[in-house]
Amino acid sequence: MPFLVLWHFLLICNLEQDSMPFRKRSPDVVVNCAALSVPRACEADPAAAMSINVPSTLLEWLSTFKEANTLLIHLSTDQVYEGVKSFYKEEDETIPVNVYGNSKVAAEQFISMNWSNFAILRSSIIFGPQTISPVPKSLPIQWIDSVLSRGDKAEFFHDEFRCPVYVKDVVTIIQALTSRWISDGERMQLLLNVGGPDRVSRAQMAETVAHIRGYSTSLITLVSASSVDRGVRSPADISMDITRVVQTLRISPTPFKEGVRLTLEAEGSA
Ligand SMILES: NC(=O)c1ccc[n+]([C@@H]2O[C@H](COP(=O)([O-])OP(=O)(O)OC[C@H]3O[C@@H](n4cnc5c(N)ncnc54)[C@H](OP(=O)(O)O)[C@@H]3O)[C@@H](O)[C@H]2O)c1
Ligand SMILES: *[C@@H]1O[C@H](CO)[C@@H](O)[C@H](O)[C@H]1NC(C)=O
């Protein structure tokens, strides 16, 4: 679903007074997940990346409501950072190294300049169980599990670092922002790093899967990310400092190992 619209109590409150309730009141919350999210696809078609990833049409539509009060929760990415140090903070300069990152920075700027009630979530790799209606894209932990379960050797980068975030923590963050807006009614302008508490390389992600599943770690061959041409530049270390989201919303993000255990448990045996 490209985005989620929550009309909180709208029908009940407005139907009695107005035969066209949807014209009167703006949605309380919109969670914008729509994107051209595959970096290689963005690199191949920068114009499409820009027009899909910058939510200008969405904000145009939200502006048509009389009381344009909607809280926009927008999914951004850790790829806004250059990737040359560890544990980026929100106030660090954004220097994307690819078209995907550039389009997401443009989106952040567009929202901050053109909307007054928003939370921008700079998400790292999201992992977790498959959804009830399976998503078409391959999921990161399930993909590693399927490769290693065949008993084949596979190559993993030892020098590309991320702070993968468990999907239910992303949901908790979105719920917390929503309840805050619904209960306080105070507009927000929030920029939050949304990562897990652990900085891990791709190889460490694979090792974690191997440990939990009981596969031999000798299947994991360490290679440098610089040895592979993926048709798009990929930032090396975009691990994030998540102090702000933890303190602002008082959440405790799931440790990587625990999240992987929960993910694999939900998948059953491969
Ligand atoms: N998944 C991750 O690990 C991750 C990490 C960091 C940031 N993010 C960000 O989180 C958000 C969601 O990611 P995702 O992994 O769920 O992405 P995804 O699987 O690529 O889904 C993107 C969604 O956008 C919709 N969409 C694409 N083009 C559209 C258009 N022109 N108009 C309306 N809808 C359109 C797609 O709808 P159809 O399927 O109908 O085409 C799809 O539902 C994105 O903003 C992404 O950049 C994701
Ligand atoms: C704000 O919106 C206007 C009109 O759509 C656009 O021209 C402008 O570039 C936007 N600002 C930013 C910083 O993106």
Q: Is the pLDDT of residue 263 over 60?
A: yes
Closest approach atom of ligand 2 to CA 59: 5
Q: What mean pLDDT, rounded, does the chain reach?
A: 92
pLDDT in tens, 210-262: 999 999 999 999 999 999 999 999 999 999 999 999 999 999 999 999 999 99
Whole-prediction pTM value?
A: 0.92
CB 195 within 8 A of CB 148: no
Q: Is 109 in the pocket of ligand 2 (CB under 6 A)?
A: yes
pLDDT class of 121 with cuts at 50, 70, 90: very high
pLDDT class of 14 with cuts at 50, 70, 90: very low
Q: Is the pLDDT of residue 161 over 80?
A: yes
Q: Is 63 in the pocket of ligand 2 (CB under 6 A)?
A: no
Q: Is the pLDDT of residue 13 over 50?
A: no
Q: 192: number of CA atoms within 13 Å, CB side? A: 27
Query: What span, in angstroms and rounded, lies between the C-alpha atoms of 247 and 69?
Result: 25
Q: Is the pLDDT of residue 25 over 90?
A: no
Query: What span, in angstroms and rounded, lies between the C-alpha atoms of 173 and 254?
Result: 12
Percentage of residues in the chain with pLDDT exceeding 90?
A: 87
Q: Is the pLDDT of residue 2 over 50?
A: no
Angle, nearest 10°, between helix axes 56-63 and 99-114?
20
Ligand whose nearest atom lies closest to the CA of 121: 1
Q: Is 50 in the pocket of ligand 2 (CB under 6 A)?
A: no
Q: Which residues contact 107 (CB under 8 A, 6 or more apart)?
A: 53, 54, 55, 74, 76
Long-range pairs for 264-267: beta carbons < 8 A, 24 or more residues apart: 264/141, 264/145, 264/209, 264/212, 264/213, 266/128, 266/129, 266/130, 267/129, 267/130, 267/142, 267/145
pLDDT in tens, 95-111: 999 999 999 999 999 99
Residues pairing with 6 in the sheet: 29
Q: Is 116 in the pocket of ligand 2 (CB under 6 A)?
A: no
Q: Is the pLDDT of residue 36 over 80?
A: yes
Segment 134-161 mean pLDDT: 96
Q: Is 56 in the pocket of ligand 2 (CB under 6 A)?
A: yes
Residues pairing with 190 in the sheet: 119
pLDDT at residue 12 in the model: 31
pLDDT at residue 201 in the model: 98
Q: 54: number of CA atoms within 13 Å, CB side? A: 18
Q: Is the pLDDT of residue 132 over 70?
A: yes
What one-character-per-residue DSSP string does 33-45 give? Answer: ------HHHHHH-
What one-character-per-residue DSSP string does 152-207 give? Answer: --EEEESS-EE--EEHHHHHHHHHHHHHHHHHH----EEEEEE--S--EEHHHHHH
Q: Whose CA is nearest to atom 10 of ligand 2?
A: 110
Say what the alpha-carbon torsion angle 195, 109, 233, 235 is, to the nearest 10 degrees. Answer: -30
pLDDT at residue 268 in the model: 77
Tokens 């078209």 map to which residue?
99
pLDDT at residue 11 in the model: 33
pLDDT at residue 179 in the model: 98
Closest approach atom of ligand 2 to CA 114: 1
Q: Which residues contact 263 (CB under 8 A, 6 or more apart)?
A: 127, 128, 129, 141, 142, 166
Q: Is the pLDDT of residue 7 over 90?
A: no
Helix, strand or coil for residue 113?
Answer: helix
pLDDT in tens, 52-78: 999 999 999 999 998 889 999 999 999
Report how many domains make up the chain. 1
The domain containing residue 212 runs over which residues? 4-267
- H-helix segments, the chain: 10-14, 21-24, 39-44, 46-53, 56-63, 99-114, 140-149, 167-184, 202-213, 243-249, 256-267
Measured from the Cβ of residue 263, the count of other Cβ atoms closer than 10 Å reads: 22
Which one has a higher pLDDT value, 111 or 6?
Answer: 111
Query: What span, in angstroms and rounded, lies between the C-alpha atoms of 81 and 96?
Result: 5
Domain CATH for 127: 3.40.50.720
